[in-house]
Copies of this chain bind each other. A is one copy, B any other.
């Protein structure tokens, strides 16, 4: 009978530090929950300065992660270095050596998950990746277990805290994207290179995992339509508010008539929808199951301790299966990707927010509405306030449901009209 669960942690950044702290703060309750002692035998980081930030035995600290994945004592390797090179190598070697993995590395799992989860299936180990999506909110456990009775019809996620913070600030302080980004960087919410967060790539990595769990297959990044928030202006946020909507960067998964949609884009959400109240760096995911209806989960999606909460929950879960001596392989991604159709963006149907820059002259509305109508797009709401004859003024419309392809055709035509200045802004609307 095993008396101790032995851990090795690679990567002492923000989350790694949080994990070490959590294992210290809650040591006794965690050991009681597992029924065994927990030994954090190794902590590895290339930066040797980091060991001074924590109260750990200096002999625990090493620079070479390889030592951890090769140590026969280690039961669980906690991979928190991020990136797709060394991390992948460590994980595959650890699995080969019969160890289990806990990771928060969504980029790696999204880009190389197929290979990694296949390696897990043929190994003695398990992979826990709760921390890879929505930080401290246990959405993966919820999908795998809590909602196990359901066919997931749709899910909507606000799962990038940086983007959500920027959109919240733009709205509350009526400032531009650039100014809000600067604030986010000052507060440490956004990195110097914010591409992954503001371009929707990080959101797409997480959507790939959630959507794959929901559909029980493993999708590819190419399956996801991705549009970031760089194009959103404080004006659009203000106009959306006039119609009682807010703009959020949403991850969307839908399953309808046998086909699947996977997309990340800025989205108008009605203020009456609970997701629209998810502000600052908070995350939330709403799931719609064919039995349970709509559920929503809300909490901190990032940060040292919230993310550590998810990492350590996986450690407890895997430790319990190690203690019981029985590792059941549940193939969460059992359906071959080839058996599933992902819908082309051209074919999706949505409501749309459109902002035209028009030269204010009589008959403009008729010309625009005429082109929209000829493509079966009908208008539900119009907003035009700052009218000054002859000037360029904004004309904002919300449409009823229309095919994306038709909207694109219509905007192509409209943007060529002599009364139109600049490129028309298009933002999709959703009613989760």
Is there a chain B Cβ closer than 8 Å to A297's Cβ? yes
- Shortest CB distance A51–B (Å): 22
- A306 contacts which chain B residues (CB < 8 A)? 291-293
- Chain B residue nearest to A311 (CB atoms) is B149
Is there a chain B Cβ closer than 8 Å to A389's Cβ? no
Is there a chain B Cβ closer than 8 Å to A387's Cβ? no
Contact with B along A286-308 (1 / 0, CB 8 A): 00011111111111100001101
**Given B25, B147, B295, which contacts A291 in the complex, CB threshold below 8 Å?**
B25
- Chain B residue nearest to A28 (CB atoms) is B151
Is there a chain B Cβ closer than 8 Å to A74's Cβ? no
Choose, from A235-243, A322-330, A361-369, A405-413, the stretch at the interface.
A322-330
- Shortest CB distance A350–B (Å): 25
State in angstroms the CA–CA spacing of A147 and B316 once bound together: 10
State in angstroms the CA–CA spacing of A323 and B324 once bound together: 15
Q: Kindly identify, within residues 307 to 326 of chain A, every residue whose CB is under 8 Å from any CB belonging to chain B.
A: 308-313, 315-317, 320, 323-326
- A297 contacts which chain B residues (CB < 8 A)? 295-298
Is there a chain B Cβ closer than 8 Å to A141's Cβ? yes
- Shortest CB distance A156–B (Å): 13
Q: With A25-B290, A300-B293 given, is the CB distance from A145 to B148 under 8 Å?
A: no
State in angstroms the CA–CA spacing of A162 and B176 once bound together: 45
Is there a chain B Cβ closer than 8 Å to A136's Cβ? yes
- Shortest CB distance A300–B (Å): 5
- Number of A residues near B (Cβ < 8 Å) is 55
- Chain B residue nearest to A328 (CB atoms) is B324
Asked whether, in the complex, the Cβ of A149 is within 8 Å of the Cβ of B274, the reply is no
CB pairs A–B below 8 angstroms (28 shown): A18-B291, A25-B291, A26-B151, A26-B291, A32-B216, A33-B330, A136-B289, A136-B291, A137-B295, A138-B147, A142-B142, A142-B146, A145-B145, A145-B313, A145-B316, A150-B309, A274-B277, A291-B312, A294-B299, A294-B300, A295-B298, A295-B300, A296-B296, A296-B299, A297-B298, A324-B328, A325-B326, A326-B326
